[in-house]
Structure formats: structure tokens, C-alpha cells
Structure 1
Amino acid sequence: MTKKAVLQLGALTCPSCMQKIENAVKNHDGVEKVKVLFNASKVKADFNDEQTSAEALADVVTKLGYTVEKLKVKA
């Protein structure tokens, strides 16, 4: 089933950070759609919860060196 995750990040400092995060999350198994909102420091992703989880997406972002301050999941 497709779910939506919203990850609130610490402040993004440059547009290349946005691209780096978007590419990493987009290439994670089970991710169907991803959008990084630079000014809001948010990542919005649609994912298949049978293939991955919102926590796994947060891990991808954390491993890139960014802080995930809040994580919300909607069905």
C-alpha cells in the first residue's frame, strides 16, 4: 500500500543539498515519488510500505549527514 512520509529536516543550506537528498531517497527501493522543499527544509515521499518504511527513508537522509527533526506518516 502506498503511504506518504513527511520528514522535517534541520535547515538546508544549499540547493545542491536538496538534489543530493532527492536523488538518494528516489533511488531507495519502494519509493514512488519524492520532493524536497528547500525553503521549508522538508522531504515529502510516497512509498510502498511493503518494500520500505518511513524510518528507512529517514535513515537514508541521516546517512547523508542531515538531521531529521520530525517524521510524519499518512496512509
Structure 2
Amino acid sequence: MNKIVLQLDELSCPSCLQKIQHALAKQAGVTNVKVLFNAAKVKADFDSDEISADKLADTVSNLGYDVQSVKVK
């Protein structure tokens, strides 16, 4: 299992948090999605055999959020 942290430009409302969590949680290979509203960060565990970090970042970008940085552990 890998861990990803996406730093976003900003989150403007609590419904943004739910929108991102839902979109990532339904991706194959993704578990433990947590969105930190005040820090504008998204953290998740993912199986790199099932989904790439780039695909996760693209999923968030396609929802209309500006991903500032991606860190994978």
C-alpha cells in the first residue's frame, strides 16, 4: 500500500470535502481517504497495482480543484 498526499489550492466549503472523498473512495485500489478541510489536503492509501498517483490527482483536478503538489510514500 502506498500513501498519497495532495495539496490543494483551497477548499471553499464542507461539501467540497464530501465530493472529493466520494470520488476517490470509489476508485479501485483506494482506501482510507481523508480530506483535511482547513489544510486543503487530501490523504489516501492506494494500491499502485490498481491505480496510479497521477490518476488520483487527475480525479481531484477533474472535479475542479487545483492540485498544487503530489507526495507519494
Where does residue 66 of structure 1 map in the other structure? 65
Structure 1 distance, partners of 2:35, 2:15, is: 11
- Find the aligned partners of 1:17 and 1:32 in 2 and give their Cα distance: 19
In 1, the alpha carbon distance for the partners of 2:50 and 2:10 equals 29
Match of 2:54 in 1: 55
Please give the root-mean-square deviation of Cα atoms over the aligned residues, in Å: 0.5
SS in structure 2 opposite 1:69? strand
Q: Number of aligned residue pairs: give it.
A: 73
1:49, CA displacement in angstroms? 0.6
Where structure 2 has 5 or more consecutive residues not aligned to the other structure, the ranges are none
Cα distance in 2 for residues equivalent to 1:24 and 1:32: 12
- One-letter code aligned to 2:8: L
Q: TM-score, normalised by structure 1?
A: 0.95
Deviation at 1:29, TM superposition (A): 1.0
Identical-pair percentage: 58
C-alpha distance after superposition, 1:10-50 (max 9, x if no partner): 11000000100000000011102100000000000100010
5+ residue gaps, structure 1, are none
Is it true that 1:10 corresponds to 2:14 in the alignment? no
Q: What CA distance in whole angstroms lies between the structure 1 residues aligned with 2:31 and 2:13?
A: 25
Q: TM-score normalized by structure 2?
A: 0.97
SS in 1 for 2:4: strand
Amino acid at match of 1:62: S
1: CA distance, partners of 2:59 / 2:34: 15
